[in-house]
């Protein structure tokens, strides 16, 4: 089993004005000796309960010369060359989702165990926004919306989801630097609004269905081609509405 090619539902794209997620897992450099799966293993989706929020701590002033893909590749290579945890290096970029310039990239299989938060990688999905938000950078509106969309997307594929946590809540660090409590509050607001829109839409669809059926019956009753049986049937069906409509002052 893999969880690849996450695709945002159209209502999230419409609501937040974010572009569709791009899966670049296969395009990024991976450690030829050790993929994340080989180095650290693959998790069961039922064990993934927590979304961990990160920044990548690369100050934007130092990275403007790179395209998104170049920067993600550079980060992957930095991690592959890091032999702190294993003599063969890390698997590649440690985040499952990485965001930059308002765009959302899937950078690992959600099930792969990567090194996002030391000692806490058996149950976490790592979502990262590029930049250094503790000292230098400010989260843009586009990145903040992309982050909310990514959180909602990941949440929807985790059957046992429990919480969104900042990296710093799991381990002492400055990551993610940005106001993660506001992001979590925004996600809740968006979820509620989407739920409401869904119920509104459903109610409207049912109302139109009723109106269409009544029109159909009226047309059947009126049509010159209709057999007598059909004419009687449609008339009876419509007449059954009479007590209800009278009671509500509609007749």
> Angle 228-239/180-222 helices, nearest 10 degrees?
130
User: What's the closest the beta carbon of residue 175 comes to Zn ion, in angstroms?
Assistant: 3
Per-residue string for binding with Zn ion, 44-83, x by CB under 5 A?
Answer: ----------x-----------------------------
Strand order across the beta sheet in which 50-55 lies: 22-23, 103-106, 97-100, 124-129, 50-55, 163-166
The residue (of 53 and 220) whose beta carbon lies closer to Zn ion is 53
Question: Applying CB under 5 A, what is the total number of residues that bind Zn ion?
Answer: 3
User: What's the closest the beta carbon of residue 49 comes to Zn ion, in angstroms?
Assistant: 18
User: What's the closest the beta carbon of residue 167 comes to Zn ion, in angstroms?
Assistant: 3
Per-residue string for binding with Zn ion, 211-230, x by CB under 5 A?
Answer: --------------------
The residue (of 100 and 167) whose beta carbon lies closer to Zn ion is 167
The residue (of 39 and 175) whose beta carbon lies closer to Zn ion is 175
Select from 142, 156, 169, 158 the least CA-distant residue to 54.
169
User: What's the closest the beta carbon of residue 95 comes to Zn ion, in angstroms?
Assistant: 9
| Cα 6 to Cα 195: distance, rounded to the nearest angstrom | 21
The residue (of 111 and 128) whose beta carbon lies closer to Zn ion is 128
Q: Restricting to residues 172-201, name those near Zn ion by CB under 5 A.
A: 175
| C-alpha triplet 39, 41, 46: angle, nearest 5° | 160
User: What's the closest the beta carbon of residue 173 comes to Zn ion, in angstroms?
Assistant: 6
CA dihedral 230, 236, 240, 246 (to 10 degrees): 110
CA-CA-CA-CA torsion sign (81, 151, 139, 103): positive
The residue (of 43 and 167) whose beta carbon lies closer to Zn ion is 167
The residue (of 57 and 190) whose beta carbon lies closer to Zn ion is 57
User: What's the closest the beta carbon of residue 129 comes to Zn ion, in angstroms?
Assistant: 10
| C-alpha triplet 225, 226, 228: angle, nearest 5° | 130
When asked if residue 96 is in the footprint of Zn ion (CB under 5 A), the reply is: no
| Cα 157 to Cα 154: distance, rounded to the nearest angstrom | 5
Per the CB < 8 A criterion, the answer to whether 48 and 124 are in contact is yes
Per-residue string for binding with Zn ion, 129-168, x by CB under 5 A?
Answer: --------------------------------------x-
Partners of 103 in the beta sheet?
Answer: 100
- Tell me the residue nearest to Zn ion as measured from the CB: 175
How far the first Cα of the chain sits from its last, in Å, is 60
> Angle 141-156/180-222 helices, nearest 10 degrees?
70
User: What's the closest the beta carbon of residue 59 comes to Zn ion, in angstroms?
Assistant: 15
Q: Footprint of Zn ion on this chain (CB under 5 A)?
A: 54, 167, 175
């Amino acid at each position: 089993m893999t969880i690849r090619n996450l695709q945002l539902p159209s209502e999230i794209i419409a609501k937040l004005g974010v572009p569709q997620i791009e899966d670049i897992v296969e395009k990024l450099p991976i450690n030829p000796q050790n993929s994340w799966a080989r180095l650290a293993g693959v998790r069961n989706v039922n064990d993934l309960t927590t979304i961990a929020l990160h920044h990548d701590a690369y100050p934007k002033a130092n990275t403007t010369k790179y395209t998104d893909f170049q920067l993600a590749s550079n980060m992957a290579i930095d991690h592959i060359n890091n032999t702190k945890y294993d003599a063969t290096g890390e698997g590649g970029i440690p985040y499952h989702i990485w965001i930059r310039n308002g765009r959302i990239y899937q950078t690992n299989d959600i099930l792969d165990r990567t090194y996002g938060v030391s000692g806490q990688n058996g149950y976490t999905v790592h979502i990262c926004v590029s930049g250094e938000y503790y000292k230098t950078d400010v989260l843009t509106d586009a990145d903040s919306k992309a982050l909310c969309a990514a959180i909602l997307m990941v949440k929807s594929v985790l059957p046992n989801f429990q919480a969104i946590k900042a990296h710093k809540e799991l381990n002492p660090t400055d990551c993610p630097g940005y106001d993660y409590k506001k992001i979590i509050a925004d996600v809740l607001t968006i979820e509620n609004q989407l739920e409401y829109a869904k119920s509104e839409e459903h109610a409207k669809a049912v109302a139109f269905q009723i109106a269409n059926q009544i029109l159909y019956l009226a047309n059947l009753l009126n049509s010159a081609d209709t057999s007598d049986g059909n004419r009687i049937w449609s008339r009876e069906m419509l007449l059954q509405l009479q007590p209800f409509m009278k009671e509500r002052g509609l007749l």
